[in-house]
Amino acid sequence: MASRKRRNQISGQFSARLIEMMESPAYRALSLSAHRVLSRIEIEMAHHGGNDNGNLPVTYEHFIEYGMDRHAVGPAISELEALGFIEVVERGSSGNAGYRSPSKYRLTYRHSDGADDADGSHEWRKITTMKEAVEIAAQARAKPRENRSPVGEKRHDQCGKPPLKREIPSGENPHYHPSGENPHYLYISVQGGEGEGPPLRPPAPPLRLAA
């Protein structure tokens, strides 16, 4: 008699999540962007054969290729970290190709090499109510991430040095008001000092020629 196939058999590689975790307040408070970040990190771990948890490199471009908006990646990572689902083990850096490095992640609900826990540290279990989870998630999304330049801004020039700021000599007047208004302005001297400059003089009236 032929053996019957198991009904719960999975034909390909898969990623398991505890039902306890999926029912937890922390998990239910996750935003859509946070779910996508979490899934992409799980995919990276699968690409490593289920190993290297704690050393999983995922770049911003990986998240964007997965379907995320660039501006949503940072807040989603902060949210997942605050709710206890991931740990950013090593923060990457943006900039030119020679100075760019990916962040490296650890899933808290999976085993890590060298760790004593059998299946992860499960920091998400510390959050016990939906109110607490929602507040933590909102605060994390609103908080700017450390060591992260604004999107589209290069941190270094081609030589790897920060861009120089142009000093405006005290004799220059970059704030010309043709309306005749006479505001104060912020000036930067050649010595680098800042302060409130004297009022600007209104433009002189046009000359009239006698008939």
Cα torsion for 63, 67, 71, 76, to the nearest 10°?
Answer: -60
Q: Is the whole-model pTM more than 0.85?
A: no
**pLDDT value at residue 159:** 46
Query: Quick one: DSSP state of residue 191?
Result: T
What does the pLDDT read at residue 144? 73
Q: Give residue 10's pLDDT.
A: 83
Residue pair 109/6 in contact by the 8 Å Cβ criterion? no
Per-residue pLDDT of the chain (211 residues; tens, 9 = 90+): 555 666 778 888 889 999 999 999 999 999 999 999 999 999 999 999 999 999 999 999 999 999 999 999 999 999 999 999 999 999 987 666 566 789 999 999 999 876 677 789 999 999 999 999 999 999 999 987 554 443 333 444 444 455 455 454 445 454 444 444 544 444 444 444 445 455 555 666 666 666 5
pLDDT computed for residue 43 by the predictor: 97
Q: Please state the domain extents for the chain.
A: 19-142, 164-200
| Long-range Cβ pairs for the range 106-111 (8 Å, 24+) | 106/53, 106/54, 106/55, 106/56, 107/41, 107/42, 107/45, 107/53, 107/56, 108/84, 109/17, 109/18, 109/21, 109/85, 110/45, 110/53, 111/53
Quick one: how far is CA 116 from the chain centroid? 30
